[in-house]
Amino acid sequence: MSSRATSRLKACVKCKALVPLDVNLCPICRGTMFSTDWSGCVSVIDPERSKVARLLNITKPGRYALKVR
């Protein structure tokens, strides 16, 4: 489970985007496989200017898990 036992988010297995539990299609990559077993979180506002986004291969704004199991 995520670092917060009461988390209401799940992570896309493909792109690590964090979405609410009731979402069935990832808005970032259109993936359909999700995990509630994730840890760490980063929010990216401007991926073109963000060194962190480049390091993590994030190309779209959003909230992402750092590790998905």
Domain residue spans in the chain?
A: 9-68
pLDDT in tens, 13-59: 999 999 999 999 999 999 999 999 999 999 999 999 999 999 999 99
Q: Specify the pTM.
A: 0.89
Element containing residue 55 per DSSP (H, E): helix 51-55
pLDDT-derived band at 6 (thresholds 50, 70, 90) equals low
Q: How far apart, in whole angstroms, are the C-alpha atoms of residue 56 and residue 8?
A: 23
* Encoded tokens for 44: 């990216």
CA atoms within 13 A on the CB side of 46: 2
Instruction: Please tell me the CATH code under which domain 9-68 is placed.
Output: 2.20.28.90
